[in-house]
Amino acid sequence: MRIFLVEPVNNFDMTPAEKYGELVMLFTERINPLRVPISNICKALEVNNFDADIDVLCLTGRSTTLALLMSAATYNYGLPLKALMFDSRTKEYNERILDDTSKEIEALKGATEGSCI
């Protein structure tokens, strides 16, 4: 299992996430989410051989880049998707399955249609 991040996450200790697998950074520098097309995120997932059955999306970082990641992943791979989410109360990462019954996905419905065209 590999843990996919969009970009480096400043001020976050990613060590706890590493217990779930190897960290894979899609971009080595912070991206400007207003200037990077979602198709670039789709391409980065493909180039890094993202496997939705095994790999996990790390939902840590800026909300705009996470929205791009989720849009690209749901468009290319559908649901369900595996995710790591940081719990600020316990300071731990928790693995979640995002499917069409998840409250996180409910908020995105309709937003991903045609994203990578």
Does residue 29 register a pLDDT over 80?
Answer: yes
CATH hierarchy code of domain 2-108: 3.40.1360
The answer to whether residues 116 and 39 touch, using CB atoms and an 8 Å cutoff, is yes
pLDDT over 70 for what percent of the chain? 86
Cα dist from 25 to 50, 77, 104, 113, whole Å? 12, 19, 22, 25
Of 95, 92, 93, 67, give the one whose Cα is nearest residue 81. 95
pLDDT of residue 117: 42
Where residue 53 falls among pLDDT bands split at 50, 70, 90? very high
pLDDT over 90 for what percent of the chain? 66
pLDDT of residue 100: 79
The pLDDT tens digits for 61-116 are 899 999 999 999 999 999 999 999 988 898 889 999 988 776 655 555 555 455 55
